[in-house]
Structure 1
Amino acid sequence: LMPPLVTGAVVAIIGLNLASAARNLAAFDPVIAAITVLAIFIVGLLTTGIFSRLPILIGGVIGYAAALLLGGTAIEGRQYLGVTVHGVDLTPVGNASWFGVPAFVAPEFNGGAMLLIAPVAVVLLAENLGHVKAVSALTGQNLTPYLGRAFIGDGVATIVAGLRGGTGVTTYAENIGVMAVTRVYSTLVFLIAGVIAIVFGLSPKFGAMIASIPQGVLGGVTTVLFGLIAVTGARIWVDNRVDFTRAVNLFVAAVTLIIGAADYTLTIGGFTMNGITLGTFAAIVLYQVFQGASVRDDFAIVGDAAEAEAELRAGPAGRSSR
């Protein structure tokens, strides 16, 4: 159902589809975004040991410090050669208490709302499938047998969250990007991270600190993370030697990438499918329908490379005399 061609395309569009979110965040403060990206590069590529596994965290801290240093403690920031560097407003952090309990509420069942939200599960299934395939590519392990567990875990987590007024729970591409950077894939790490998140969730001051992270820092971090996810899709193609001289492979990948990157949407009633979902379905369906129907096994790539390859196949007698 999902050969390497389809898997790589689906993973790639997850990163490409989120590119606009990274762009919007970075555009708010391009200077801080650039500093954050540069810091991540330096830490990730020029350090060793534990530091080389924490480029996102350290880069984010450096970006945060740069925003404080260059922009000050006012969100309006300061001007440098006509460019605004926004600061960090620490007032909410100072006013927040150290400990607090969230306001829990009981669930309320509404038939209309349930019918409206239920189709979203189809979207989440497609996205979760792509996420699992991305992790599979990163770890080099076949995680397809665990897809059922992933779907069940997602559903159970959402049920538990909804019982006390929490939001819906799903997998996040940002975590996959962090795994790609740190090269740490242990599930125990995520269990510990979950416990730590619960503890910090009882501290409004920590929440205020997280909320104070400048958009430029988030833009720089997500630029790296989402880019790594997109490149992971290409890596799947390379590692599995996907043959792009086959017309069906070329066309399926091309259509899938554009649908995902441009974030095509399809709305049916109150149900909307985004670019990731449409791209996933397009890749799966188009490949299954046309993999055996294509009469062209060799698709010439326009340019000198294709001409050179044709001459090599023809041999000395078939080469041009130019």
Structure 2
Amino acid sequence: MKAEQRTVDVGERLPLLQSIPLSLQHLFAMFGATVLVPYLVGLDTSVTLFTSGVGTLLYIFVTKGKIPAYLGSSFAFIAAFIGLLGAKAGELASPDRIAVAMGGCVVVGLVYIVVAAIIGKFGTGWIDRLLPPVVIGSVVMVIGLGLARTAVVTMAMEGGTGTYHPEYFAVALSALAIAILAAVFLKGFLGVIPILIGIVGGYLVALLAGQVSFDAVRSAAPVALPPFVPPKFTWGAILTLAPISLVVITEHIGHLIVTNNIVGRDFVKDPGLHRSLAGDGVATAFAGLLGGPPNTTYGENIGVMAITRVFSVWVIGGAAVIAIVMSFFPPVGALIRTIPTHVMGGICILLFGIIASAGIRMLVEAGIDFSQKRNLIIASVVLVIGIGGAKLHIGGIEFGEMSLAAYVGMLLNLILPRAMEKGAGEAAGEAADV
């Protein structure tokens, strides 16, 4: 008879020699996605590792050590950051542009904290009113589909050069194939990290094809302080990033509910959803003060906990400490930047597609009826504005397609009458009666 797997509780502290390998598992689970975001948008990976690690420790502190969660880079802000930073994948953006984007990132963290305070006072009903599933699902689809051309053409086919290279596309497809095979056939912990496996596998293929240069690694200093960039506050960046934060908040709530089910506790009540969101907000605001992307709780690490049955915040904290230590070794960041753009492009074909599919899943699970004109109009307008590249200039402020789609979706949801929620079959029946 198979022995029952031991569960390590949230506050339980394991011996160091047992904790380290368990912490490394969490590090590997978050690593591929966490470093992918700065790679794509033009931020420094060492700064991102530092802010991710410190942010996780801040989250554990704010939640009184009662919620096991790792905080990594949020994918929801990729499109907005690409517009704000204007850098190619694998290249660092200018410090001035980073500073402006970080001003918006700090405000995103403050939005989390304000929403946390409101939830603590009034509950979550107002979020459902402002952002029902038809709006959230459509915006999440825009996040994935809006980046589709970037993944396929700019990265996978052109490798960031502006010219089509069939050899680059072949390597990109190999990275994609490896990630898909890992996701479908690998079990246990390896099944949780298909993105990381795809990156490593694609990197090895590119290395064999002679498409990798290690010049940056050779020239990197052995040890150095991460190149932190202080924020600069502008209305353009704030209004671009702020509405996306509301989408991530709903993702955060979903992750917390999943964690509840896995651990067998009600974290929404103790220490409270408001504390969990506030912890995420403090971590994100801290990241913005130093030059890192907004944070979010990571589903990959929730998956690791489900497999290992180790829920200890000490193990999660250990992974955060290792990430912080790694950030002080520039060769680590330089090695990440040697990953060819087309390899990341192959991975992003899968990753951005998964994001878009997550939006579709939200709509399906919420039972959104598109025979109702109201739902059809909201989703249609959000999708076309977000994917079509719409921009709006008011004075010196620019609203990009992502933020504009979110704003328009919320506005339509508030102003369109609920009386429009009538099925096409019912309307057709009324027309037949006439």
Where on the TM-score scale, by shorter chain, does this alignment land: which range? 0.7 to 0.9
1:130 aligns with 2:247: yes
1:26 to 150, 156, 165: 156
1:202-213 to structure 2, matched below 5 A, reads 202-213=328-339
Q: Is the 8 A contact 1:124 1:170 kept in 2?
A: no
5+ unaligned residues in a row in structure 2: which ranges? 1-129, 160-167, 259-267, 306-310
Distance in 2 between residues matched to 1:133 and 1:91, nearest whole Å: 42
1:68 aligns with 2:207: yes
Residue type of the alignment partner of 2:155: L
Q: Which moved more, 1:179-188 or 1:46-55?
A: 179-188
Superposed displacement of residue 21, structure 1: 2.7
Q: Which moved more, 1:44-53 or 1:125-134?
A: 125-134
Larger radius of gyration: 1
Distance in 1 between residues matched to 2:283 and 2:346, nearest whole Å: 31
What's 2:142 paired with?
A: 13
1:42 to 174, 181, 200: 181
Kindly provide the CA deviation profile for residues 88-124 of structure 1, in whole angstroms up to 9, marking residues without a partner as x: 011222333322234568x69xxxx64xx14422322
Q: Is the 8 A contact 2:252 2:277 kept in 1?
A: no
Q: Is the 8 A contact 1:14 1:130 kept in 2?
A: no
What's 1:220 paired with?
A: 346
Distance in 1 between residues matched to 2:287 and 2:205, nearest whole Å: 37
Helix, strand or coil at the partner of 2:145: helix
Distance in 1 between residues matched to 2:237 and 2:317, nearest whole Å: 26
Q: Is the 8 A contact 2:193 2:300 kept in 1?
A: no
What's 1:4 paired with?
A: 133
Superposed displacement of residue 36, structure 1: 0.7
Distance in 2 between residues matched to 1:20 and 1:140, nearest whole Å: 33
Kindly provide the CA deviation profile for residues 2-52 of structure 1, in whole angstroms up to 9, marking residues without a partner as x: 111112112221212222332211122211110011001111101212211
What's 1:274 paired with?
A: 400
Count of aligned positions: 272
2:369 to 243, 253, 270: 243
Helix, strand or coil at the partner of 2:393: strand
Helix, strand or coil at the partner of 1:267: strand
Helix, strand or coil at the partner of 1:217: helix
Residue type of the alignment partner of 2:239: V
2:218 to 94, 112, 116: 94
What's 1:155 paired with?
A: 285
Q: 1:58 to 1:288 in 2, by over 3 A?
A: same
Distance in 2 between residues matched to 1:95 and 1:237, nearest whole Å: 49
Q: 1:191 to 1:131 in 2, by over 3 A?
A: farther
Helix, strand or coil at the partner of 1:245: coil
Distance in 2 between residues matched to 1:211 and 1:137, nearest whole Å: 32
5+ unaligned residues in a row in structure 1: which ranges? 73-86, 162-166, 301-309
Residue type of the alignment partner of 1:155: A
1:170 aligns with 2:287: no
1:256-271 to structure 2, matched below 5 A, reads 256-271=382-397
Superposed displacement of residue 242, structure 1: 0.8
Superposed displacement of residue 243, structure 1: 0.9
Q: Is the 8 A contact 2:143 2:355 kept in 1?
A: yes
Residue type of the alignment partner of 1:123: T
1:229 aligns with 2:342: no
Helix, strand or coil at the partner of 1:100: coil
What's 1:81 paired with?
A: none
Residue type of the alignment partner of 1:229: I
Helix, strand or coil at the partner of 1:244: coil
Helix, strand or coil at the partner of 1:242: coil
Q: Is the 8 A contact 1:131 1:171 kept in 2?
A: no
Q: Is the 8 A contact 1:154 1:169 kept in 2?
A: yes
Distance in 2 between residues matched to 1:224 and 1:138, nearest whole Å: 21
TM-score (norm 1): 0.73
Q: Is the 8 A contact 1:25 1:215 kept in 2?
A: yes
Residue type of the alignment partner of 1:259: I
Distance in 2 between residues matched to 1:216 and 1:270, nearest whole Å: 35
Distance in 2 between residues matched to 1:228 and 1:288, nearest whole Å: 29
Distance in 1 between residues matched to 2:317 and 2:356, nearest whole Å: 26
Residue type of the alignment partner of 1:39: I
1:286 aligns with 2:409: no
1:53 aligns with 2:192: yes
More helix by share: 2
Q: Is the 8 A contact 1:180 1:228 kept in 2?
A: no
Distance in 1 between residues matched to 2:201 and 2:213, nearest whole Å: 17
1:100-111 to structure 2, matched below 5 A, reads 100-102=224-226
Residue type of the alignment partner of 2:406: T
Q: Is the 8 A contact 1:252 1:287 kept in 2?
A: yes
Superposed displacement of residue 187, structure 1: 11
